[in-house]
């Protein structure tokens, strides 16, 4: 690197490019790259200082690095954070310009300042961000004694003023967490600013410098390295400073870091971020308790211990152990502490977690009744349990209670509608189930079933089948009765039965009801058990959707699932099946109007959650696709579509909700439909323009999985169901039905379910297409779903 001795910043840029290219070619690893980058910049900066005559010991001028360079954590395109320190030296501004300008001219990101010792301490006591940076001062060039003096003075001032600044630290940290989200659970996490990111590690360091907490643990240090390694690779591959890991970058980075694929990378990042987030949260609590007390506060007596439960007390705003409590003698103590913490909203103290982790044995099977009771008490607290379970999990106690948890811990979701890792999803679903316990006769089984319904994920095989076996194992270990173990296992095995059946088949068809009841009778035998299982499955389906992500438990999904479960319970009780009521007289008027003028007629009916659009028109091929297109053109999201034909007149019924605003004028819908059928309105072009106007700013093709088609045979009716899973867009139902109609398919019904940006469309097809016909239909539908096959696209 002697070429850098000239002090030309262009040489620094060239040397940095060579270094990045060499590392990319030979891949010595991101940690080695950061060290090499720090050495390279240190060498150039110290050489520049010498060339400018900055002087050495006793000169009263020093150049120091803060931020990433100060920590020697410089990623390829991180800014250089530099401070020129001086003790009243004249012409220091000229010297500073000679340092900064070459870097600016070379296009190197630079954050700079010029300070006297007094100014440095002053800024550190008034600007929190500057204080964090100055705590990491590292000498680069000039007078090392001055650098050390500033470092010691800033740290002394930090420790002396921490009590008055602590509330600001908590407030800014909480706001940063709110903006950045959880690194552990974001599909595209902010590695630097998110909750569990690199700024949280810096926070722990700062609290340790104030002598309020210990230095970061080995687990946090390892997490820091992983976060830095991923951020380093993100910079190197993207060619610019980036903190947010995008989905399209993750596979390449995972391969480079020998982590398999983006899912393995996401799992590693989740574990690292959760370790950091937990340490930061505990660190803030410990730091508040350790703040120095002054004045009258120093004279106050230490807070007393307030009993919360047997062996559990509140002390200094945290849940802890009573002095005589012993986990070795009290098998239910861990769960009693957890339940008390969740019930009172208090965090469990770090000391208590550590003591329990060191002394609590594994519970023998079957669990004592007291332990099961405390588990149910914890699960029944709802959202309050989430943080408590997280704290137990990060200290190894949760895995001691549920050894099966290891396979789902930090496991990333494969479905884009999920916003949580699988383990966190289980806890969130359990929290949602706690709100539904009064709807079921067995709230205990609902809570346990919610907690373990996806426990089979992360292993080979169908997760519902694997989970059934694991649930049986867990139920027996918890000490449940044999019949309850059977119910729990059936809940896990069939937790998708109601939502899948309701969206893939006609829930109003008696054959669908009979199919569901037959499946459940095979699982639990007697009808009494089937009735209990049905209400548990209905509540679990709701909790599962609510714990998956926003918008998943849509009004229409609720209508379908509750309608199906209600019909099953009605049939089980022996009550006659309640068929749809007599036709609305307005429908007869519509049929008469179509027969009279041979033109379409439209009618809207408003409901509590969804509206119904009924369209009557002369029967003709393409009627469904035409009406679906016009409905989409008026920004109506379709949930179901049904078709009936009588006397040469087709009646199409859609359940819809407006995408934007309210319902359109039925007269305008009818007018547009007349124009489409008459050929004066280019429906494909109009939909393409609308789709272009409302298209997302980021192309979805870069972010989403390819569409899939699944086939289901309804043994009861002989019908065939085609299910399309893909990314939703305006007019998708129209485009797919056009493709199906052109393939000669006779559609009898359609059901559309939107889950976030994903869609699951199911189509009932009359007849039974053979394998060759299915292959061709599938190819056509997938082409349309991908935006090909000739339909107009933006």
- Burial 761-794, CB ≥16 within 10 A → b, else e: bbbbbeeebeeeebeebbebbbbbbebebebbee
CATH number of the structural domain spanning residue 57: 3.30.460.10
- Has residue 470 been placed in a domain? no
Per-residue confidence (pLDDT) for residue 703, from 0 to 100: 41
- Do residue 34 and residue 114 come from a single domain? yes
- Do residue 636 and residue 607 come from a single domain? yes
Per-residue confidence (pLDDT) for residue 416, from 0 to 100: 65
Nearest to 383, CA basis, from 427, 351, 445:
427
* Cβ–Cβ under 8 Å, residues 117 and 85: yes
The neighbour count for residue 479, using CB atoms within 10 Å, is 16
* Cβ–Cβ under 8 Å, residues 18 and 58: no
- Has residue 433 been placed in a domain? no
CATH number of the structural domain spanning residue 661: 3.30.70.260
Per-residue confidence (pLDDT) for residue 699, from 0 to 100: 43
Please identify, among 160, 190, 219, the residue that sits at the C-terminal boundary of a domain: 160
- Has residue 494 been placed in a domain? no
- Has residue 428 been placed in a domain? no
- Do residue 118 and residue 189 come from a single domain? no
Q: Which residue range forms the structural domain that includes residue 78?
A: 2-160
- Has residue 378 been placed in a domain? no
Q: Both tokens of residue 569?
A: 């319970």
- Has residue 290 been placed in a domain? yes
- The owner of tokens 């039905």 is 737
Nearest to 759, CA basis, from 554, 559, 564:
554
Per-residue confidence (pLDDT) for residue 503, from 0 to 100: 78
For 322-439, where are the E strands, in sequence order? none
- Do residue 261 and residue 147 come from a single domain? no
Per-residue confidence (pLDDT) for residue 492, from 0 to 100: 97
- Has residue 462 been placed in a domain? no
- Do residue 135 and residue 208 come from a single domain? no
- Do residue 149 and residue 19 come from a single domain? yes
- Burial 372-382, CB ≥16 within 10 A → b, else e: bbbbbbbbbbb
- Do residue 649 and residue 690 come from a single domain? yes
Please identify, among 278, 295, 312, the residue that sits at the C-terminal boundary of a domain: 295
- Do residue 126 and residue 190 come from a single domain? no
* Cβ–Cβ under 8 Å, residues 148 and 239: no
- Do residue 148 and residue 187 come from a single domain? no
**What's the total number of domains in the chain?**
3
3-state class of 309 per DSSP? strand
pLDDT-flagged residues of the chain (< 50): 1-6, 299, 577, 579-583, 696-704, 716, 790-794
Please identify, among 272, 295, 318, the residue that sits at the C-terminal boundary of a domain: 295
- Do residue 203 and residue 156 come from a single domain? no
Provide the H-helix boundaries in 509-554: 510-524, 527-546
- Do residue 152 and residue 193 come from a single domain? no
- Has residue 403 been placed in a domain? no
Q: Both tokens of residue 126?
A: 């008034």
- Burial 13-40, CB ≥16 within 10 A → b, else e: eebbeebbeebeeeeebbeebbebbbeb
* Cβ–Cβ under 8 Å, residues 102 and 8: yes
Distance CA 668, CA 687 (A): 16
- Give me the residues paired with residue 612 across strands: 605, 655
pLDDT digits (tens, 9 = 90+) for 106-120: 888 889 999 999 999
Instruction: Give a three-class secondary structure readout of 323-341.
Output: CCCCCCCCCCHHHHHHHHH
- Do residue 110 and residue 185 come from a single domain? no
3-state class of 364 per DSSP? coil
- Burial 308-339, CB ≥16 within 10 A → b, else e: bbebbbbbeebbbbbeebebeebbbbbbbbbb
């Amino acid at each position: 690197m002697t070429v850098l001795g000239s002090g030309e910043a262009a040489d620094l840029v060239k040397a940095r490019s060579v270094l990045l290219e060499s590392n990319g070619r030979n891949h010595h690893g991101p940690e080695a790259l950061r060290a090499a980058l720090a050495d390279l910049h240190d060498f150039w900066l110290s050489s520049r200082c010498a060339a400018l005559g900055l002087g050495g010991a006793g000169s009263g001028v020093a150049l120091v690095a803060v931020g990433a360079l100060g920590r020697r954590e410089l990623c390829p395109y991180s800014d250089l954070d530099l401070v020129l320190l001086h003790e009243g030296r004249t012409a220091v501004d000229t010297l500073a310009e000679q340092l900064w300008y070459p870097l600016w001219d070379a296009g190197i990101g630079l954050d700079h300042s010029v300070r006297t010792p007094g100014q440095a301490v002053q800024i550190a006591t008034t600007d929190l961000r500057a204080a964090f940076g100055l705590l990491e001062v590292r000498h680069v060039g000039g007078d090392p004694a001055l650098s050390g003096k500033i470092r010691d003075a800033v740290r002394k001032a930090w420790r002396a003023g921490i009590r008055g600044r602590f509330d600001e630290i908590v407030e800014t940290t909480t706001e940063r967490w709110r903006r950045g989200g959880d690194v552990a659970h974001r599909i595209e996490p902010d590695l630097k600013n998110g909750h569990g990111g690199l700024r949280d590690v810096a926070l722990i360091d700062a609290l340790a410098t104030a002598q309020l907490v210990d230095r970061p643990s080995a687990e946090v240090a390892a997490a820091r390295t992983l976060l830095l390694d991923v951020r380093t690779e993100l910079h190197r591959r993207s060619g610019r400073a980036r903190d947010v890991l995008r989905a399209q970058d993750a596979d390449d980075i995972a391969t480079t870091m020998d982590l398999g694929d983006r899912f393995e990378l996401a799992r590693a990042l989740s574990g690292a971020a959760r370790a950091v987030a937990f340490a930061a949260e505990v660190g803030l609590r410990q730091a508040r308790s350790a703040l120095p007390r002054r004045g009258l506060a120093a004279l106050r007596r230490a807070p007393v211990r307030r009993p919360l439960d047997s062996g559990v007390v509140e002390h200094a705003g945290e849940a802890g152990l009573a002095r005589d409590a012993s986990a070795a003698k009290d098998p239910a103590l861990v769960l009693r502490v957890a339940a008390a913490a969740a019930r009172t909203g208090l965090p469990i103290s770090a000391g208590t977690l550590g003591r329990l982790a060191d002394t609590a044995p594994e519970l023998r099977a079957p669990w004592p009744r007291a332990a099961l009771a405390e588990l149910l008490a914890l699960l029944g607290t709802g959202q309050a349990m989430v943080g408590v379970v997280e704290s137990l999990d990060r200290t190894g106690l949760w895995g001691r209670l549920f050894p099966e948890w290891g396979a789902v811990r930090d496991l990333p979701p494969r479905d884009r509608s999920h916003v949580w890792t699988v383990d966190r999803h289980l806890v969130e679903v359990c929290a949602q189930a706690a709100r539904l316990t009064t709807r079921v006769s067995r709230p205990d089984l609902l809570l346990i079933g919610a907690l373990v319904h996806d426990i089979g994920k992360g292993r080979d095989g169908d997760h519902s089948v694997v989970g059934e076996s694991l649930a049986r194992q867990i139920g027996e270990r918890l000490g449940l009765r044999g019949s309850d173990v059977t119910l729990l296992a059936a809940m896990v095995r069939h937790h998708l039965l109601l939502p899948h059946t309701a969206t893939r088949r006609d829930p109003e068809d008696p054959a669908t009801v009979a199919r569901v009841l037959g499946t459940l009778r095979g699982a639990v035998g007697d009808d009494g058990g089937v009735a209990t299982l049905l209400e548990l499955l209905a509540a679990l389906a709701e909790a599962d959707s609510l714990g998956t992500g926003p918008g998943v438990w849509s009004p229409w999904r609720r209508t379908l699932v509750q309608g199906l479960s209600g019909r099953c319970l009605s049939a089980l009780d022996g009550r006659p099946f309640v068929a749809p009521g007599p036709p609305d007289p307005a429908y007869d008027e519509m049929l008469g109007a179509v027969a009279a003028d041979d033109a379409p007629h439209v009618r809207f009916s408003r409901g509590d959650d969804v509206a119904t659009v009924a369209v009557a028109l002369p029967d003709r091929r393409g009627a469904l696709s035409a009406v679906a297109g016009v409905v989409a053109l008026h920004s109506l999201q379709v949930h179901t579509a049904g078709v009936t034909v009588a006397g040469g007149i087709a009646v199409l019924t859609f359940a819809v909700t407006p995408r934007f605003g309210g319902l359109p004028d039925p007269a305008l819908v009818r007018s547009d439909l007349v124009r489409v059928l008459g050929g004066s309105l280019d429906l494909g072009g109009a939909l393409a323009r609308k789709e272009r106007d409302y298209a997302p700013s980021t192309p979805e093709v870069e972010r989403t999985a390819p569409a899939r088609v699944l086939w289901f045979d309804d043994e009861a009716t002989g019908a065939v169901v085609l299910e399309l899973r893909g990314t939703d867009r305006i007019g998708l139902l129209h485009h797919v039905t056009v493709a199906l109609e052109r393939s000669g398919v006779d559609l009898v019904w359609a059901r559309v379910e939107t889950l976030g940006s994903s869609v699951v469309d199911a189509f009932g097809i009359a007849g039974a297409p053979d394998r060759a016909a299915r292959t061709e239909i599938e190819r056509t539908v997938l082409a349309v779903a991908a935006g090909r096959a000739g339909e107009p696209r933006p």
